Amino acid sequence: MSRLTVVVPVRNEREAVPSLFTRFKEYSSQLPPGWSLLLVDGMSTDGTPEVAEEWSDRLPVRVIRLSENRGLGGALEAGLLEAIPESDVIVTMDGDDSHDPSTIGAMLENIDDGADLVIASRFEPGGEEIGVAGHRKVLSHAASGLLRTLFPVGAAKDYSSGFRAYRSDALRAVADAHGRLVEESGFSCMMELLLKLRSVGADVREVPLVLRYDLKPTESKMD
């Protein structure tokens, strides 16, 4: 594994960033040499970019400040487009501290084994959801089951997870075939990009994800 960039789209996550970055600091010795952390800020009003930049002496972090709030999809695309030229592998994850950076190791092992996309999945054996409201669990499980039936994509079971590892070459293939990586602005952008990767024949796999909603310091922004 040569060049790794971790892309984290955020908006108003001032309270979550220090905890997330502390976990990155603790795990950083197990990441590939030369890895970097790219925070994409969608016009936060709580000082999130400034908090992130305070960590630049402890982590290889840099911040992109978008000039408008483009939603999750727009922030995700901005981060991917910035990272593709300088990366062999791009990991995306949420900035609310519900994703554990230590999961990245298993994701990179699958990339090294030939996968084009590895999803950290709640529905993979060993996966778990902690602190997620019951009605949200029912909704997400039902939606994922329907999507797997209508749009099967390799081993994918968790279509909405934002914790993923992409091979940069696979993303370039999507851009060449579709023009845009992401057009949806909301959370549906995760399924959009997954289906575009299916269209270019991507090898899609999963690893278990323990989703820690109990660690989120702010309310969910999902509609």
Q: Count CA atoms closer than 13 A to 219's CA, side-chain side.
A: 2
Instruction: Say what the pTM is.
Output: 0.91
- Give, for 39, the enclosing helix (H) or strand (E): strand 36-41
Given a contact cutoff of 8 angstroms between Cβ atoms, the answer to whether 83 and 7 are in contact is yes
Given a contact cutoff of 8 angstroms between Cβ atoms, the answer to whether 158 and 121 are in contact is yes
CA distance 145 to 122: 13
**Tokens linked to 214:** 């109990």
**Tokens linked to 49:** 């970019």
φ/ψ (deg, to 5) at 188: -65, -10
CA distance 133 to 187: 18
pLDDT at 216: 67
pLDDT tens-place values along the chain, 223 residues long:
579 999 999 999 999 999 999 999 999 999 999 999 999 999 999 999 999 999 999 999 999 999 999 999 999 999 999 999 999 999 999 999 999 999 999 999 999 999 999 999 999 999 887 866 666 666 766 777 777 777 888 889 999 899 999 999 999 999 999 999 999 988 889 999 999 999 999 999 999 998 887 776 765 454 4
